[in-house]
Amino acid sequence: MTDRQMAQKQQAGEFAATLITDGMIVGLGTGSTVRFFIEALADRINSEGLDITGVTTSNKTSSLAKSWGIKLASVDEVSKIDLTIDGADEVDHQLNGIKGGGAALLFEKIVALNSAKNIWIIDESKYHDVIGQFPLPVEVVPYGSHQLLQRFLAADMQPTFRRTMTGERVTTDAGNYIIDLHLDRIAYPKSLAYFLEQTVGVVEHGLFLDTVDEVIIGGNQPTLISNTKPSC
């Protein structure tokens, strides 16, 4: 990661923290850019006395938020989530996204779908004409996961189990495995999403379509891109 990317992550995260207002229930995403947001949000809570409740998308985010003294609740303990701030691994010009590089895609999607508004914070390297350069995460149940890998292999999706540094299969907070699909280019994301959703053993996939309302790209003056697609 370059110094420029790191600076843009911090700029995007800190700008997003300025959008939070007193009394909000805020979805807290997962990842390196969200870390900057959480730290900046904690500073505002402490300095301004904001009453904020966070709903987290991973155990890692929960630990980070608790370490900064942010009050937390589970998604099932709140009646609504006002705004979720999360990162993204890749975003196209139609604001389709790939998420799940932190293996939190299932919980991220649950929180996103229960949020009145979703904002993603990214550096400019994540913004592309077409998504697919970042491997697409697919969360699968362990039972039969090798058979799923073979099915994706037969479909020429270049699948690999995500593994830890010691070679073990990565396990999500829900106890599932991640299969990464190395596709290079996803020309028809909705068709691919439908295929994955119809595949038995797939718990969730990392295509986030028609989900985000705004994307913030870090910079000295962060760029805000709004989703102008008609709702249906």
109 labelled ligand-binding: no
Q: Which of 90, 108, 139, 204 is catalytic?
A: 108
88 labelled ligand-binding: yes
228 labelled ligand-binding: no
126 labelled ligand-binding: yes
Cα–chain center distance at 97:
9
Beta bridge partners of 54: 26, 72
Of 119, 74, 73, 59, the residue nearest 95 (C-alpha): 119
219 labelled ligand-binding: no
76 labelled ligand-binding: no
Spatial separation of the C-alpha atoms in residues 26 and 28, rounded to whole Å: 6
Contact 95, 129 (CB under 8 A): no
Tell me which H or E stretch contains 113. Answer: helix 105-113
What is the number of other CB atoms lying within 10 angstroms of the CB of residue 32?
A: 16
Q: Is 77 a catalytic residue?
A: no
31 labelled ligand-binding: yes
102 labelled ligand-binding: yes
Spatial separation of the C-alpha atoms in residues 209 and 188, rounded to whole Å: 11
22 labelled ligand-binding: no
Spatial separation of the C-alpha atoms in residues 72 and 111, rounded to whole Å: 13
80 labelled ligand-binding: no
Spatial separation of the C-alpha atoms in residues 128 and 188, rounded to whole Å: 15
Spatial separation of the C-alpha atoms in residues 118 and 187, rounded to whole Å: 24
Tell me how long the chain is.
232
Spatial separation of the C-alpha atoms in residues 64 and 116, rounded to whole Å: 24
69 labelled ligand-binding: no
Which pair of tokens denotes residue 93?
Answer: 């010009």
Q: Which residues are annotated as a binding site for substrate?
A: 30-33, 86-89, 99-102, 126
Active site residues: 108
Q: Which residues are annotated as a binding site?
A: 30-33, 86-89, 99-102, 126
